[in-house]
Amino acid sequence: MCGIFAYFGPKEKAADIVLKGLKKLEYRGYDSWGIAAKQKDGRIYIEKHVGKISEVISLEDSLTSPSHLAIGHSRWATHGGVTQFNAHPHADENNKVVIVHNGIFENYAELKQELIEDACLFSSETDSEVLAHLIAKNMDEGFEKAFQKAISRLKGRYAVLAICEDEDKLIAARRGSPLIIGQGEDTYFVASDVPAFLAYTKEVMYLDDEQMVVITKDGATFSSLESGKTIKKRLISIDWEVEEAEKGEYPHFMIKEIMEQKDTLSRTINTAEAKLNEIAKLISRSDRAYIIGCGTAGYVAHIGEYLFAEIANKEVIMRPASEFHLSARFLTEQSVVIAISQSGETADTLEALKLAMNAGAKIVSIVNVESSTMARISDKILPIKAGPEKAVASTKATTAQIAILTLLAHASANKLDEGRQLLIQTMGSINDMLNPRYEDHITSIAGNIMNVQDIMVIGRGISHPVAMEAAMKMKEVSYIHTEGFAGGELKHGPIALIEEGVPSVVIAPDDNFKNEILSNAMELKARGALIIGVSPENAEVFDYWIKTPSAKHANAITHIIPLQILAYKLAVLRQHNPDMPRNLAKSVTVK
């Protein structure tokens, strides 16, 4: 939710460095953007626009003198519409203090009222602007003190950056939204995510909640927001490659990441045995085990519930993280909560984990971003090692999460080797499946249904959450109304939506539910539906057939991949950018 980025260093093209970095963060929010650059003459130049940043090449010509310090923001609107005024950065009325903000200041309305009574002039409808005015009010005490005073009055979640005209300093603070400091030679970067500065440095320091950092030409000083005490930070080297965060020869990140699934599972398969067994033990000794996540990660959690039941005969209850409060009351110190998340920064999941921590339950997180807040607050982490996922629609992280849950469920049943063997075979079939002919076949099906109003997806057993995830993928990138149902639920209501020609995707792996789901397909066809079968074998009821590898307990993986491709093709044929669907953002750091 919103990308923020700053550069402080010897290079005198700070505005363009920030422009370049912001482009790498655009997946976090892309309805508007802006940059503030501190010029050699001390004045701060601000430029902001509605729309995507991608096409802008340089800002340097607009500056009156070179700049070595700049901050930038790409926005996902929360408070105030998508307008140039509401785009960040925001400044006080004299342009002396400039800030960017990711998150929500919950008490902004009362602060704004107070500031207006104090004769402050507001130029936006955002909650964020209050911070610039609050700092500006106390600047006679110095920038740092004024910043601390201002931040102490704010409630809510935030990551903020601030600069001012009078002092050559960059200040950043966080509570609940990510901020990472990249360190190069005499150079500092501050960003919501690593890809923004990956081209310059892989040496990072993490700003934790309730901390701030003051960066000057002499270095970075970290301190506690509450006590003001200085904090020492360790420099950590990260192992992401620049190319992994680039599109390369692909037209979109989404298709690149779908294709990367040929390789990503191999990294998951290598997860250390000792770690998996240790977590499996924790789960089997627990009095209650829950598995939670939001959106796609929630559907993965639901798939996990099936995997634990079917492979290990163990009940691990799935809950959407945003509704976990219902179950949190039953947690004890013997309970385990498994959190699924790509980013490790999803606010709803973090809130749920806070409840778990308060109850003393053990937290296991299955995350892609190992440096994320979720990973750092967990008792145990299982990193999925899928590499940077940039498309808003999750694909490779999804299958890597399912793969690790498959291993964990096997470890819980004391048959980890069997689990690894299964995934090795599955990798082979994914490699065979992901060829250009397969893609063309799915493109032609997408071409035939691209103008419909609605799509249904059904599955039974583990294919039920797979159906819901497939529907999520299609609706979020193609904007076609798509719903996923359990096959058995159709006749209890959803079948009323079926009329002549409604495409209905039927997920029919080679499992115990095959005959039943094919009967459901017949029921749909009898009412005029166009049946797209996703199955290892063709069936008479299918109008179109997408062949899938039979993968036993890994069927969820082999059956979601073709539907990720279908979603992608529908988006592209309907001329939507699948990497940046409307109204969405990659990492949802607000509740």
First-to-final CA distance of the chain: 11
Closest CA to 550 of 558, 562, 542, 561: 558
2 is catalytic: yes
Q: Nearest distance from residue 346's CB to ligand M6R, in Å?
A: 3
- CA separation for the pair 404, 539 (Å, rounded): 32
Residue nearer to ligand M6R on the CB measure, 31 or 476: 476
Question: By CB under 6 A, what part of segment 207-236 binds ligand M6R?
Answer: none
Residue nearer to ligand M6R on the CB measure, 162 or 340: 340
Task: Please tell me the count of residues contacting ligand M6R according to CB under 6 A.
Answer: 16
Which of 20, 202, 525, 586 is flagged as catalytic? Answer: 586
346, 443, 478, 535: which one binds ligand M6R (CB under 6 A): 346
Residue nearer to ligand M6R on the CB measure, 297 or 502: 297
Q: Nearest distance from residue 338's CB to ligand M6R, in Å?
A: 13
Four-residue CA torsion sign, 522, 527, 528, 530: negative
Q: Does 474 bind ligand M6R (CB under 6 A)?
A: no
Which of 2, 120, 164, 294 is flagged as catalytic? Answer: 2
Closest CA to 262 of 395, 461, 434, 109: 434
3-state secondary structure at position 123:
coil
Helices 416-433 and 555-573, axial angle in degrees (round to 10): 30
Question: By CB under 6 A, what part of segment 277-336 binds ligand M6R?
Answer: 294-297
**One symbol per residue from 565 to 584: x for binding ligand M6R (CB under 6 A), - otherwise; what is it?**
-------------------x
Q: Are the beta carbons of 288 and 332 closer than 8 angstroms?
A: yes
39, 148, 187, 343: which one binds ligand M6R (CB under 6 A): 343
47, 370, 476, 579: which one binds ligand M6R (CB under 6 A): 476
- CA separation for the pair 1, 345 (Å, rounded): 10
Q: Nearest distance from residue 402's CB to ligand M6R, in Å?
A: 13
- CA separation for the pair 408, 291 (Å, rounded): 12
Closest CA to 539 of 521, 562, 559: 521
137 is catalytic: no
Closest CA to 189 of 178, 174, 177, 204: 204
Q: Nearest distance from residue 477's CB to ligand M6R, in Å?
A: 8
Residue nearer to ligand M6R on the CB measure, 115 or 350: 350
Q: Are the beta carbons of 427 and 260 closer than 8 angstroms?
A: no
Q: Are the beta carbons of 559 and 565 closer than 8 angstroms?
A: no
* Total Cβ atoms within 10 A of residue 116: 12
Q: Dihedrals φ, ψ of 100, to 5°?
A: -130, 155
Strands 336-341 and 317-320, bridge-based pairing: unpaired
**One symbol per residue from 367 to 406: x for binding ligand M6R (CB under 6 A), - otherwise; what is it?**
-------------------------xxx------------
Q: Nearest distance from residue 358's CB to ligand M6R, in Å?
A: 21
Q: Nearest distance from residue 123's CB to ligand M6R, in Å?
A: 32
**Which residues have a catalytic role annotated?**
2, 586
Contacting positions for ligand M6R (CB under 6 A):
294-297, 341-343, 346, 349, 392-394, 476, 584, 587-588
